[in-house]
Structure 1
Amino acid sequence: MGDIQRLTIDGKSYVLLSEDDYEDLVDGLRAEAAMAGVRAGEETWPMELVEAKSNGENPVRLYRTYRKMTITELADAAGISQPYLSEIEAGRKTGSVDVLRRICKVLRIDLEDLFVNMKDD
């Protein structure tokens, strides 16, 4: 960490640090928050799944295969037809919000997990 300057402006104390140091600090806080989640039992995803998802592979198919389910098992559990699920996985249909929620419930994922690059901030 570089030089840190302490300033007082209008009676309030401030700290001035470089942008790189600030980004390192934020990255460390985010990493610690993620590790706290892991320690609390939150599920993490293998890098192969994350990379495949970011490379545009269908997330429903990725999570289904990660959960070791057949397309028929997922369709039955979600209460939809196997051909309809096949169309969703092939990208020919998007699926209604209700259907996607049912799929997510079976796969034990959040609806947001079906989308790439969703950020909290």
Structure 2
Amino acid sequence: IEHEIILNGKHWEVIPISAKEKINLDLLKKEIFNELNLIRIYLKPVDGEVDYTRPMILKRGAIVEDVCKNLHRDFVNKFKYALVWGKSAKYPGQRVGLDHVLEDEDIITIVSKR
């Protein structure tokens, strides 16, 4: 349940919460996340399982190169291609380059040169 109030001529969105009763805490987290323009990217190692427990947090508009830089600076130099599943992919497991723009909750596998 979201409410809006007007204070000093500005519209403010209000989310009533209770830490004690654990009411609307998930909604509050979601709204803070959205207001900060953050996205979650899940990593999937080559021939491995997706790690849904620890997403990489990036700014909205992040590209594959940003993921590589966050993992290790050598990933950009040794980058071959990435496989992406999720909203930004045209089809599951789409092969993309460093400049591919990622979306919230995308899954990515980085394939590097040996």
> Structure 2 length as normaliser, TM-score?
0.30
Which one has a larger percent strand, Structure 1 or Structure 2?
A: 2
Q: Which has the higher contact order (CA 8 A, sep 6+)?
A: 2
Whose radius of gyration is greater, 1 or 2?
1
